[in-house]
Structure 1
Amino acid sequence: MDKECISPGQGMLLLAGLGIGTTLLFIPSILIQYANQSAILSLVLGCAPGIVLLLILSSLNRFYPGQSLVQYSASILGLPGKILGLLFIWFAFHLGVLVLHNIGDFVGVVMLAETPTPIVYFFVVAITAFALLLGLETVSRAFGLLLCFSIFFNLLLLLFTLPHADFNNLLPILENGWSPVVKASIYLSSFPLGEFILLGMLIFNIKGSKGTAIPLIQGQLIATVVAIAIILQVITILGAERASRSIMAIVSVLNSISGSNLLLIPFSMTWFIFAIAKFFICYYAFVTGFAHWSKMDDYRPLVLPGGALLISIAMIIYHDAGESQKFLKIYWPAYSLPIEYGIPLLLWLAAGVKALLQRREGRH
């Protein structure tokens, strides 16, 4: 396949987009349901598994430079590795369907209530497919420019809501002890931190890929800071009890403030940029993963058929945003954690053992 190269800074921004993505909508209310006012502590505690995952992926990239996760899984384990690669491709596809469904829910609820959801799916997939055909480098540069726009409107939103904040809503902290905080951080480890496994399909494209861990961790920290700011807004304005009942808590924040309609459209555009970035990475991981698995020369012939498949499944998987959030809260951690952390850890251990055995053979 053609070699695409992005800078470490662009890799950092793509990871930040993957981490923020649909998190702005669903994570605040779910974490608050678990940990109430202590949800911010769960964000800080949950950073550790994400950092470990990024270190494992960076280490595997040093073991097998120039190869994607699907490729080096077969190099390490042979046929079982091919099966693991297929499992990863399924995960990328399933996550892409969920993100596409979330985008359709948001657009239908907030922006275009009378527009049929399949039409929204079609245009989102069409935009992303066009970006895929242009290539990873072009999208990385475009997202870097759009992120400046997004940061500006996020700061504007923060300043607009600050006078309406009641910081007494942040108390009491750790009212029920550490147990709810730990549960919330475990959930956070699966969504969105565990989704960093998708970087296994593009980390080898980063220039100077031997030192990718630091910029990727910086990208995670950017996503964490944004998430902390959003949860602070949600708790201080809505209160923990009301926020826990809201499906899209940040939208409820905007609707609860007079004159907030002026900011709803800029916020929608900002969120849409991050969501498209996340959907792009899922879509890219799916089609490139399948191309690598089937040893195709190029992933581009798979872009349009893959997009049609994503639309088809997104139309039947869930009926509304409430059903989607229920799946995310109840079933997603048990389903995703073994894939998100189990596959990289197994490959990392197997690669280490294989390298150790090769060194011993070389000595003899």
Structure 2
Amino acid sequence: MIEKKRMVAMDIFAQNDRISNMELWTLMFVYMMGSLLTLPIGYAAGHDSWISAIIGTIAALGINWIYVLLCHKYPRKSLVEIAQILLGPWIGKMVGILYTWYSFYLGAYTLLNFTDITGAVLLPRTPTVIVGITMIILVTWTASKGIEVISRCALILFLFVVISTVLGSILLVPDMEPKNILPVLESGWNPILKGAGQIATIPLGETIVFGMLIPYVNQMAFVKKTVITVIGVTGLLLLLTFFVNIFVLGEIASKQLFPSYTSVMYIAVGDFFERIEPLVFTVWIFNGFTKLTICLLVSALALSQTIGSRDYRFYLIPLGLLLLELSLILHPNQLDLIAYIKDIWPLFSLPFLIFVPLILLIISFLKRKTLKSQN
């Protein structure tokens, strides 16, 4: 009976929501950029942080390959549904609760980071709760429209993200000092690997939530290529961002709350083209909006599939209100938030990003091998 309800729910979602591989690509790209440019992660090694970006990207490719291969083996099934197939209904439901919590918790941190940045940079006199309420209302409404609408919004935002990043890098060329990158490996490998771990688990590894959305892609045969290429391209853009920030800021890049924003403040072309950071910040707002919408949507989907509900939209408003409340009590200030994200979040993410998907993948191989031997 539970299996039947789950299949009915999936059929209802499938009729209303279908996205292409290009839409999945751009949606993942904009989602990752929501953290990539607004968090000072990966700078543990100072001017050697570009090495962390390379290693972190390679590790992220491996992390993403695990859950993509799992979804490829079980087409039209989400991570929660795959867990119930492989582990049985009860343990599978526990996995569903875990991923509901992960996406919900990630959404709370995304909202907290957004409100803190907005308060520090754009609206210093506006109460944080007002900014949070406004964002939650918009995010809940957008999530209720489904993944197709969100992905089309991401297609538009994609152009602004790429143009602003590339244009900003070009305009900063006069302020760059390539010698800031020397000497190489001055700090040793420990801080480099620490930074790589942050990069692999925060901007590039948090795409595990798309394991709930891959079933909505209309051509499953190309999903593996789509996910791997978007991780690779985002990693290259991350590497470019690290080079720009290190060349412009030098050693102080690792000490900034918002390194990319600080670098943009250096842009000045003559006496007529300067102080463009508000325009860049606007792009970042939409990046954070997209990421928060995905987190809320995935948490509602995971919860509805875990309990066998027919419509995830029923849970969007209560989850959105709870997410807002959690974001208000998580950390007292931005410094405490950044410290937690740098030191604790990578370790907290490991079970969700690696251990659970890897266990599911191993069990799927063992079951298939057992079936072949029986036949």
Contact 1:17 1:223 in 2 (8 A): no
Runs of 4+ in 1 over 6 A off after TM superposition: none
Q: CA offsets, 1:212-248, max 9 Å, x none?
A: 11111111123212212221221111112x1121111
CA shift in 2, pair 1:153/1:176, >3 Å: closer
1:100 Cα deviation from its structure 2 partner: 0.5
AA matched with 2:258? M
Q: How does 1:19-58 map to 2 (within 5 A)?
A: 19-27=32-40, 30-32=41-43, 34-58=44-68
Any stretches of 5+ residues in structure 1 without a counterpart? none
| Preserved CA contact (<8 Å) 2:267 2:275 | no
1:10 pairs with 2:37 = no
CA deviations on 1:52-102 (whole Å, 9 max, x unpaired) are: 222222221122221111111111101222212211111111100000000
RMSD of aligned alpha carbons:
1.6
Q: 1:205 aligns with which of 216, 231, 243?
A: 216
Gaps of 5+ in 2: 1-8
- The range that moved more, 35-44 or 249-258, is 249-258
2:256 aligned with 1:246: yes
TM-score by length of 2: 0.91
Q: Quick one: percent identity of the two aligned structures?
A: 26
SS at match of 1:176: coil
1:296 equivalent to 2:327? Answer no
Aligned length: 358
Corresponding position of 2:3:
none
Moved more, 219-228 or 310-319: 219-228
Query: Does 1:320 pair with 2:372?
Result: no
Task: Determine the C-alpha separation between the residues in 2 that align with 1:211 and 1:252.
Answer: 39
| 1:89 corresponding residue in structure 2 | 100
Shift of 1:256: 4.6
CA distance in 2, matches of 1:23, 1:153: 14
Larger deviation, residues 104-113 vs 208-217: 208-217
Aligned to 1:100: 111
Separation in 2 of the partners of 1:5 and 1:49?
Answer: 30
Structure 1 length-normalised TM: 0.94
2:186 maps to 175
Write the letter of the residue equivalent to 2:290: A
Q: 1:93, 1:286 within 8 Å by CA — same for their partners in 2? A: yes
Q: Which moved more, 1:43-52 or 1:162-171?
A: 43-52
Separation in 2, partners of 1:253, 1:141: 30
CA distance in 1, matches of 2:267, 2:71: 48
Report what 1:227 is aligned to. 238
Q: 1:324: Cα distance to partner?
A: 0.5
Q: Which moved more, 1:53-62 or 1:122-131?
A: 53-62
Distance 1:230 1:224 in 2: 10
Tell me the distance in 2 between the aligned counterparts of 1:116 and 1:220. Answer: 36
Within 5 Å, give how 1:135-284 maps onto structure 2.
Answer: 135-240=146-251, 242-256=252-266, 262-284=275-297
The SS at the match of 1:189 is helix
Contact 1:194–1:337 (8 Å) recurs in 2: no
- Asked if the contact 1:74–1:80 (Cα under 8 Å) also holds between the matched residues in 2, the reply is yes
Specify the alignment match of 1:119 in structure 2.
130
Aligned 8 A contact 2:53 2:196 in 1: yes
Which residue of 2 is the match for residue 341 of structure 1?
354
- State how far apart, in whole Å, the 2-side matches of 1:221 and 1:275 are: 21
Q: What's the offset of the Cα at 1:9?
A: 0.8
Counterpart Cα distance in 2 of 1:339 and 1:146: 28
